[in-house]
Structure formats: C-alpha cells, structure tokens
Amino acid sequence: MDYIKKDALSGELIPVLLGLSQEVNETAHRMYREYGVVSHVFCEKIPLALRLSLCMKFHLIRHTADERLMTQALYDFADQLGNAEVILYLIPCTEEYANFVWNHCEDLEGKFVIASKEEMYRVWFGEEFPLPSGKEISHG
C-alpha cells in the first residue's frame, strides 16, 4: 500500500467507506465530484462494473473476517499513511458495518473521524435529501 502515501496530501480528507452498497457508489462519486478526493472502500468483493472507477480504491476484506481482523485492517491502512496529516473520515455504508463501527467506536476514534448517524445520511444522500424515515440504523 505504498501508493497511499504518494496520493495523500497534508490536510487532505480521505473518505474510508465500509461495505458494498448503493450508498458506497453514490457517496464515492459525490465526494469525488464535490471535493476531488478518492474514497477508499473496504469490502468483500469488487463488482466488475466498478473495477475501473476513478473515484474509488478497493481494499478487500473477506466476509468471513471477524471484527478483530477488520479493526486491524483499518489500523494498518491508517498506519500506511505514516505521519501525513490527513483526516481519515470513516463512513459505514451498510447496517452491518454501522453496527461494527458503533461497537468499536472507542478503538477507531484514535485514528479516524467517525461519521455520526445524521452525518452518514447526509453524506450518503446529499444535503438536498431529507433523512429517510424508513431507513434505521441501530446505534449500539
């Protein structure tokens, strides 16, 4: 992952998206359009249609990986940036990953800025969209 250091600029926002969903695709494209940043997506597989996306870099995590391995993968990613003064903005994009983040919030806050529930919705759907009433994520 040496290429990460070369891509990161001091003070840059680096979106770290967890999971594979429509929200990941929309969020990565929105972040690229609005801020010119590439999102790093941690997921189980890379869909063929997204393999050549210019706004996403994928990091494969097996679905069978337990939470300890996922936490370690995120820490390893953060450590690859070394002393670069970047903001790692962690955005879970599925209910499963949102619950993972809430369960490990204290551990992850040392390296990541974690999107709140309201911020997740704003980032997923854009400021122009109201909070969807049918979509609920538990906050464990």
Under the phi-then-psi rule, with left for phi > 0, alpha for psi from -120 to 50, and beta for the rest, what region is 137? beta
Each domain of the chain, given as residue ranges in start order, spans 15-80+92-104+121-134
Predicted local distance difference test score (pLDDT) of residue 80: 87
Q: Consecutive sets of 10 residues in the chain, 140 residues long: mean pLDDT of each?
A: 42 86 86 89 81 85 77 91 79 88 91 85 62 44
Largest CA distance in the chain: 42
The residues with which 14 forms a beta bridge, in sequence order, are 88
pTM > 0.85: no
Predicted local distance difference test score (pLDDT) of residue 47: 77
Predicted local distance difference test score (pLDDT) of residue 125: 67
